[in-house]
Amino acid sequence: MDYREYGQTYYIRFDKGNEIIGGILDICRKEGIKSAIFSGIGGCSSAEIQTFIPERGEFETEILSGMLELVSLNGNVVTDEKSGLCHHTHAVFSYKKVGEHCIAAGHMKAITVLYTAEIELRPVVDGEISKKFDPETGTGFWDFK
Protein backbone atom coordinates (compact mmCIF):
# COMPACT_ATOMS: atom_id res chain seq x y z
CA MET A 1 0.00 0.00 0.00
CA ASP A 2 1.12 3.53 -0.71
CA TYR A 3 -0.65 6.87 -0.50
CA ARG A 4 -0.18 10.57 -1.06
CA GLU A 5 -1.99 13.71 0.02
CA TYR A 6 -2.70 16.23 -2.73
CA GLY A 7 -4.61 19.28 -1.55
CA GLN A 8 -7.10 18.00 0.99
CA THR A 9 -7.52 14.57 -0.63
CA TYR A 10 -5.60 11.32 -0.04
CA TYR A 11 -4.98 8.98 -2.98
CA ILE A 12 -4.34 5.40 -1.90
CA ARG A 13 -3.00 2.48 -3.92
CA PHE A 14 -3.59 -0.91 -2.35
CA ASP A 15 -1.49 -3.84 -3.56
CA LYS A 16 -1.99 -7.60 -3.74
CA GLY A 17 -2.97 -9.07 -0.38
CA ASN A 18 -3.82 -5.71 1.25
CA GLU A 19 -7.13 -5.43 3.10
CA ILE A 20 -8.86 -2.22 1.98
CA ILE A 21 -11.12 -1.23 4.87
CA GLY A 22 -8.53 -1.86 7.58
CA GLY A 23 -5.98 0.04 5.49
CA ILE A 24 -8.27 3.07 5.16
CA LEU A 25 -8.85 3.09 8.93
CA ASP A 26 -5.07 2.78 9.55
CA ILE A 27 -4.38 5.82 7.33
CA CYS A 28 -7.08 7.82 9.12
CA ARG A 29 -5.51 6.99 12.50
CA LYS A 30 -2.00 7.83 11.27
CA GLU A 31 -3.08 11.12 9.69
CA GLY A 32 -5.44 12.16 12.52
CA ILE A 33 -8.53 12.00 10.30
CA LYS A 34 -11.71 11.68 12.41
CA SER A 35 -14.30 11.81 9.60
CA ALA A 36 -14.03 11.23 5.85
CA ILE A 37 -15.71 9.82 2.79
CA PHE A 38 -14.06 7.53 0.25
CA SER A 39 -14.62 5.86 -3.09
CA GLY A 40 -12.68 3.53 -5.33
CA ILE A 41 -12.26 0.73 -7.85
CA GLY A 42 -9.99 -2.28 -8.25
CA GLY A 43 -9.45 -6.00 -8.62
CA CYS A 44 -10.05 -8.11 -5.53
CA SER A 45 -9.67 -11.71 -4.42
CA SER A 46 -12.21 -11.85 -1.58
CA ALA A 47 -15.00 -9.83 -0.04
CA GLU A 48 -17.13 -10.25 3.06
CA ILE A 49 -20.54 -8.80 2.16
CA GLN A 50 -23.08 -8.21 4.90
CA THR A 51 -26.83 -7.68 4.80
CA PHE A 52 -28.56 -6.23 7.86
CA ILE A 53 -31.64 -8.21 8.97
CA PRO A 54 -33.80 -5.71 10.94
CA GLU A 55 -36.05 -8.35 12.54
CA ARG A 56 -33.03 -9.97 14.18
CA GLY A 57 -30.96 -6.81 14.62
CA GLU A 58 -27.91 -8.49 13.09
CA PHE A 59 -25.97 -8.91 9.88
CA GLU A 60 -25.75 -12.00 7.68
CA THR A 61 -22.36 -12.43 6.01
CA GLU A 62 -21.51 -13.97 2.66
CA ILE A 63 -17.91 -14.47 1.54
CA LEU A 64 -17.06 -14.16 -2.16
CA SER A 65 -13.72 -15.28 -3.56
CA GLY A 66 -12.02 -15.46 -6.92
CA MET A 67 -11.50 -12.69 -9.48
CA LEU A 68 -13.81 -9.93 -8.22
CA GLU A 69 -13.90 -6.71 -10.20
CA LEU A 70 -14.53 -3.91 -7.70
CA VAL A 71 -16.89 -1.82 -9.81
CA SER A 72 -17.75 0.72 -7.12
CA LEU A 73 -16.70 1.28 -3.51
CA ASN A 74 -18.30 4.03 -1.42
CA GLY A 75 -18.10 4.64 2.28
CA ASN A 76 -17.38 6.87 5.20
CA VAL A 77 -15.26 6.92 8.31
CA VAL A 78 -16.60 8.52 11.48
CA THR A 79 -15.90 8.47 15.21
CA ASP A 80 -18.15 6.22 17.27
CA GLU A 81 -19.52 6.93 20.75
CA LYS A 82 -16.38 5.38 22.31
CA SER A 83 -14.12 7.75 20.29
CA GLY A 84 -12.92 4.96 18.02
CA LEU A 85 -13.00 5.06 14.23
CA CYS A 86 -15.65 3.05 12.44
CA HIS A 87 -16.67 2.71 8.81
CA HIS A 88 -19.85 2.33 6.80
CA THR A 89 -18.91 0.88 3.43
CA HIS A 90 -20.86 -0.44 0.46
CA ALA A 91 -19.47 -2.02 -2.70
CA VAL A 92 -20.49 -3.58 -5.99
CA PHE A 93 -18.50 -6.47 -7.51
CA SER A 94 -18.77 -8.18 -10.89
CA TYR A 95 -17.45 -11.70 -11.39
CA LYS A 96 -17.93 -14.80 -13.52
CA LYS A 97 -19.61 -17.91 -12.17
CA VAL A 98 -19.98 -20.97 -14.43
CA GLY A 99 -19.37 -18.76 -17.47
CA GLU A 100 -22.03 -16.19 -16.53
CA HIS A 101 -21.43 -12.60 -15.48
CA CYS A 102 -22.74 -11.96 -11.95
CA ILE A 103 -23.05 -8.97 -9.66
CA ALA A 104 -22.91 -8.89 -5.85
CA ALA A 105 -23.31 -5.83 -3.68
CA GLY A 106 -23.93 -4.76 -0.12
CA HIS A 107 -22.44 -3.59 3.15
CA MET A 108 -18.77 -4.53 3.40
CA LYS A 109 -16.93 -6.04 6.33
CA ALA A 110 -13.60 -6.74 4.59
CA ILE A 111 -12.12 -6.68 1.07
CA THR A 112 -8.78 -8.22 0.02
CA VAL A 113 -6.96 -6.96 -3.07
CA LEU A 114 -6.00 -9.35 -5.87
CA TYR A 115 -3.83 -7.01 -7.98
CA THR A 116 -4.64 -3.37 -7.14
CA ALA A 117 -7.25 -1.01 -5.76
CA GLU A 118 -7.32 2.77 -6.16
CA ILE A 119 -9.08 4.73 -3.45
CA GLU A 120 -9.76 8.44 -3.01
CA LEU A 121 -10.15 9.49 0.66
CA ARG A 122 -11.64 12.92 1.36
CA PRO A 123 -11.46 14.09 4.99
CA VAL A 124 -14.19 16.32 6.41
CA VAL A 125 -12.85 19.87 6.63
CA ASP A 126 -13.79 22.33 9.41
CA GLY A 127 -15.98 19.84 11.30
CA GLU A 128 -16.40 16.33 12.55
CA ILE A 129 -19.04 13.67 12.05
CA SER A 130 -19.58 11.01 14.67
CA LYS A 131 -21.86 8.00 14.87
CA LYS A 132 -24.68 7.68 17.35
CA PHE A 133 -26.34 4.34 18.05
CA ASP A 134 -30.13 4.21 17.57
CA PRO A 135 -31.69 1.51 19.78
CA GLU A 136 -34.95 1.58 17.81
CA THR A 137 -33.36 0.42 14.55
CA GLY A 138 -30.30 -1.32 16.00
CA THR A 139 -27.98 0.69 13.77
CA GLY A 140 -25.94 3.88 13.99
CA PHE A 141 -26.50 7.20 12.31
CA TRP A 142 -24.42 10.32 11.67
CA ASP A 143 -24.27 12.80 14.53
CA PHE A 144 -23.03 16.25 13.58
CA LYS A 145 -20.82 18.17 16.00
> 14-43, pLDDT tens digit by residue?
999 999 999 999 999 999 999 999 999 999
Domains of the chain (ranges; CATH) run 2-144 (3.30.1330.80)
pLDDT in tens, 43-98: 999 999 999 888 887 889 999 999 999 999 999 999 987 778 999 999 999 999 99
Structural element, H or E, at residue 69: strand 58-79
| CA 76/CA 34 separation, integer angstroms | 10
- Which of 36-72 are b and which e, b meaning 16 or more Cβ less than 10 Å from the residue's Cβ? bbbebebebbebbbbeeeeeeeeeeeeebeeebbbee
The per-residue pLDDT for 78 is 96
* C-alpha distances out from residue 6 to 45, 49, 108, 115, Å: 29, 31, 27, 24
- 3 state SS of 30: helix
- Average pLDDT of span 110-132: 96
Q: Using only C-alpha atoms, what is the Rg of the chain?
A: 16
Of 136, 12, 36, nearest to 86 (Cα)? Answer: 36
Burial class (CB in 10 A: 0-12, 13-18, 19+), 124: middle
The gap from C-alpha 60 to its chain's centroid, in whole angstroms, comes to: 17
